[in-house]
Each structure stands twice: as C-alpha cells, then as structure tokens.
C-alpha cells in the first residue's frame, strides 16, 4: 500500500475542510483509542494513524492513561464492566487477554491472514478458548546490560550463568568500591509488584523450575530448582545488589546504572536508548546480552512483555474499530513504530528489514533475547492471573527480605495457589 500522492491530496483536502469548518462526512466515525502513554506517545500515535485516517476517512482520538499497568487494568475493567461505549479500542498488556476476554470482540476471522505473520507464541498468548482477543502491536523482553569497559578492566568474561554473574559482579564491585562507595555489582527490580514476578520467573525458569503454573493448570512452583533459584537471588541482596533493590522498579535500577554505579543491570529495551543519551555517564560503555541461565546449556529465559490492541464489544463503531486494530497490528504500523520508537515488532519478517536495522541497530540484536521469551502464566490461570502474580511476588519478596526460607514460603505459596485454583482455574 502506498499513500504517496493520494495521501497528500487528502491531507490538503482535510486542511481545507478544517479551515472551512465543514462537518465530516456522515459515514466517518471518531474512534476512541485508550492506551498507557509515555513520552511523545500521543504525537507519535497521531503520525502513526494518519495514513489510516486518510485512507478510511475516520478519525482517531487517543486517550492517554497512566503508565502504570495496574492502574490501567483497574480502570479498563471498570469501564468494560459498566459496558461503556465511550472507548472503542483498548491497548492491552500481554497478560490481560484471559482476564478481559469476555469484553472484547473475536478477531480470529478478520485477522486470519495477518495473524500467521506474527510470532506464534504471541498470537497464542492472545488466544483464549479459540477466540483471538487482541492483536499484537509490539513486544518487549528484558536483557542483561553490562559495562564493557569494566568487564575488560577486570578481565571478566560475559557471564553465561547466574553463578558466573554473581562472581563477576562481586569482583568488579570489590574493585570499584574502593574509589566509589556507591558502586554495586548488579541491579534489578525487586519491589513487590508485577515486575518482580517477571524477574523471579526468569530466575526460576532458567533454573529449570517451571513457570509457576504450567499450561495444563498444575501449580509447579514448589520444587528444588525454584528453591535454589530464590536462595541464590536472596544472597545477592546486600552483597552485589544494594539492600534497596527490594524497592526498585525499572527507573530506580536505571538511575543507579545510568550514573555509572552498577556493573550489570536487568532491564527492558527502553534503558538502551536512554543509557546512550548525551548526559549519561555510561554512554557508549555498555551493551546487552541474553539473561544468564542456571547451568551451562540451559536455555535463557526472558519474560515476555508487550502490547496488543483489542476491540470493545460495547463499541458502536465496530467496523471502523476493527479496521484500526488491523492497521495497527499490520506491517506498516509496526515498522513505523520500530523506526520511530524502537518498539520491537511482532511480525517475524520485520527483524530482517533493512530500514529498521539501519535506523535501530539494536532491534535485530534483540531477536535472540526475544526468541527465549517465556510467557507469564496468564493463560492457564484465566481471570485469576492478577491474584496469582500478587501471591507469587509477595512470596518472593518475603523470601528476599529474609521473612522465612524459600522452602517454607514456596510451600505456603503452593498451598495458596492450589486453594485459589479450587477444582479448576
């Protein structure tokens, strides 16, 4: 599809129409699109949907929401529960699909050609009981950031396992602490919130401890591998990681990292661009790799993040809304997002796209990270996911803060989760 000449013509027409204050054609709908908004998201979104608006004659108004996904979730739930028709298209987190499935339109029929071009694992995560609840628009997966200069200075190899990471971080920290008392080996997200579920799931999965609740619904969390993984993480707190890591979310970790006070960091792709900003103390001194594993040869695990679009079944303008969702999940929009905002595409072929590679060299690099992505157990736990995750990160946080041993806390967690599960999720 090309919008070259026609697009320009239509834009001129649109301007003329605006100047003349002529009302829009009858068939043109105004679609309300709600999304957590960061940075220039609203402006970027306007540019992004412009071709679609010009092609269809509809308009889109974006409703920005707090960046906190829990805040968004509670809000959307209330709106949808009340059957609100004010919002037509929702931007949804990868874990929401099973919980909100009833309120969204099934997209499997309209997207039957588009869906197979995406990574199958993501499409699967958005499919609930055969219903395609949402279409992916970009994905997200964390990686291990490390300081190339410091690794070189101390002659340390890029760590492959968590044990190697621990020793490497300790070595660098011991050396650096002499001149910089605020220096730490490894920073990550240990606050009790959804982010800790992501962090802990990576430790557990890469130690062969399963993924909390398996896809058949069994609660698998209480096993020796998980216990080992958590005990190892607990040992980091106060040694290679500051005690305060138990209150860190992404920004706190980045704060320590970007002021040059950490050797390693676990974080999402956003920290890459910011870390290379002009005022960053680590500009050009770092790179990323896949997260470490339990023992050599195991596959690495990175928690799958990312965003999707879903159409409300209470929308009165469904046709236009579905068309918008299809456009946003399609190759042009994803490519534009990748170039403009370095969002990771979900369409496989875009990782080989030359324009993207030229504009955002980090994106092809992230493909390895992304191929190891593990989903959080939102699919098997259906509507209960938020509660499962909350119980999990609370148990992990308790263990990390020294309230009870990993074994005890996990045994209690297992009982709690089985209780929550009842006969079936």
Site for another protein in 32-91 (CB under 8 A): 32, 34, 36-42, 61, 63-67, 70-71, 73-75, 77-82, 84, 86-87
Q: Residue 226 — φ and ψ, nearest 5°?
A: -65, -45
Residue 294 beta carbon to another protein: minimum distance, rounded to whole angstroms = 26
Q: What part of residues 373-402 is at the interface with another protein (CB under 8 A)?
A: 383-384, 386-387, 390, 393-394, 397-398, 401
Residue 41 CB, nearest approach to another protein (Å): 7
Q: Where are the alpha helices (DSSP H) in 113-265?
A: 120-125, 148-153, 162-177, 194-206, 224-236, 250-258
Count CA within 13 A, CB hemisphere, residue 52: 27
Residues 6 or more apart whose CB falls under 8 angstroms from that of 97 comprise 125, 126, 127, 128, 133, 134, 308, 310, 378, 379
CB of 122 to another protein, least distance (A): 17
Distance CA 187, CA 261 (A): 9
Q: How far is the CB of 154 from another protein (least distance, A)?
A: 22
For residue 373, how many C-alpha atoms fall within 13 Å in the half-sphere facing its CB?
A: 25
Q: How many residues bind another protein (CB under 8 A)?
A: 77
Closer to another protein by CB, 33 or 52: give it.
33
**Is 32 within 8 Å of 86 (Cβ atoms)?**
yes
Indicate the residue among 260 and 330 with the shorter CB distance to another protein. Answer: 260
DSSP output for 49-94:
HHHHHHHHS-EEEEEEE-S-HHHHHHHHHHHHHTT--S--EEEEET
Q: Return the number of the residue (161 or 189) whose C-beta is nearest another protein.
A: 189
Judged by CB under 8 A, which of 89, 132, 150, 246 binds another protein?
Answer: 246
390: tokens are: 């909350």
Region 89-108 residues binding another protein, contact defined as CB under 8 A: 99, 102-103
Residues in the chain: 425
- Residues numbered 170 to 209 that lie near another protein (CB under 8 A) are 182, 190-193
Backbone angles phi, psi at 375, to 5 degrees: -80, 150
Of 67 and 348, the one with the shorter C-beta distance to another protein is 67
Q: Which is nearer to another protein, 142 or 159 (CB)?
A: 142
Kindly write out the interface string for residues 129-168 of this chain, putting x where it contacts another protein by CB under 8 A and - elsewhere: -----------x----------------------------
Q: What residues between 249 and 278 interact with another protein by CB under 8 A?
A: 249-252, 254-256, 258-259, 261, 267-268, 270-271, 273-274, 277-278
Residue 7 vs 64, nearer CB to another protein: 64
- What minimum distance in Å lies between the beta carbon of 262 and another protein? 10
Residue 226: other Cβ atoms inside 10 A: 26
Least CB distance to another protein at residue 270 (A)? 3
Pick the closer one to another protein by CB: 164 or 252.
252
Contact call for residue 280 and another protein (CB under 8 A): yes
**CB of 274 within 8 A of CB of 147?**
no
CB of 217 to another protein, least distance (A): 16
Element (H, E) at 421: helix 406-421
Minimum Å gap between C-beta 305 and another protein is 8
DSSP lists the bridge partners of residue 310 as 90
- Which three-class secondary structure state does DSSP give residue 102? helix
Return the number of the residue (112 or 283) whose C-beta is nearest another protein. Answer: 283
CB of 256 to another protein, least distance (A): 5
């Amino acid at each position: 599809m090309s919008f070259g000449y026609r697009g320009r013509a239509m834009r001129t027409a649109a301007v003329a129409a605006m100047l003349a204050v002529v009302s829009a054609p009858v068939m043109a709908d105004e679609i309300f699109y709600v999304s957590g908004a960061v940075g220039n998201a609203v402006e970027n979104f306007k540019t992004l949907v412009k071709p679609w608006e010009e092609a269809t004659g509809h308009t889109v108004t974006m409703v920005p929401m707090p960046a906190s996904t829990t805040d968004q979730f509670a809000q959307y739930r209330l709106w949808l529960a009340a059957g609100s028709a004010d919002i037509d298209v929702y931007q949804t987190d990868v874990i929401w699909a099973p919980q909100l499935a009833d309120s969204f339109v099934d997209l499997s029929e309209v997207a039957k050609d588009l869906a197979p071009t995406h990574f199958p694992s993501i499409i699967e995560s958005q499919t609930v009981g055969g219903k395609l609840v949402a279409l992916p628009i970009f994905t997200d997966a964390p990686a291990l950031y490390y300081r190339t200069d410091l690794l070189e200075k101390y002659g340390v190899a890029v760590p492959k396992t968590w044990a190697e990471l621990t020793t490497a971080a300790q070595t660098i920290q011991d050396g650096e602490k002499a001149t910089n008392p605020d220096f730490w080996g490894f920073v990550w997200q240990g606050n009790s919130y959804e982010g800790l579920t992501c962090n802990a799931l990576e430790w557990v999965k890469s130690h062969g401890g399963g993924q909390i609740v398996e896809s058949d619904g069994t609660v698998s969390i209480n096993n020796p591998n998980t216990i080992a993984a958590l005990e190892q993480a607990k040992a980091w707190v106060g040694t290679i990681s500051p005690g305060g890591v138990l209150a860190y979310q992404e920004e706190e970790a980045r704060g320590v990292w970007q002021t040059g006070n950490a050797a390693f960091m676990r974080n999402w792709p956003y920290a890459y661009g910011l870390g290379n900003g002009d005022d960053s103390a680590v500009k050009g001194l770092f790179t990323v790799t896949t997260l470490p594993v339990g023992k050599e040869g195991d596959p690495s695990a990175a928690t799958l993040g990312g965003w999707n679009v879903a159409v409300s079944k209470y929308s009165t303008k469904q046709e236009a809304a579905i068309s918008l969702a299809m456009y946003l999940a399609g190759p042009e929009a994803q490519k534009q997002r990748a170039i403009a905002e370095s969002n990771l595409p979900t369409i496989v072929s875009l990782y080989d796209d030359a324009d993207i590679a030229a504009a955002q060299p980090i994106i092809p690099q992230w493909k390895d990270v992304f191929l190891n992505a593990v989903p959080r157990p939102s699919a098997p736990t259906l509507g209960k996911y938020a509660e499962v995750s909350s119980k999990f990160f609370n148990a992990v946080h308790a263990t990390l803060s020294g309230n009870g041993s990993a074994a005890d806390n996990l045994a209690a967690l297992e009982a709690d989760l089985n209780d929550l599960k009842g006969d079936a999720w």
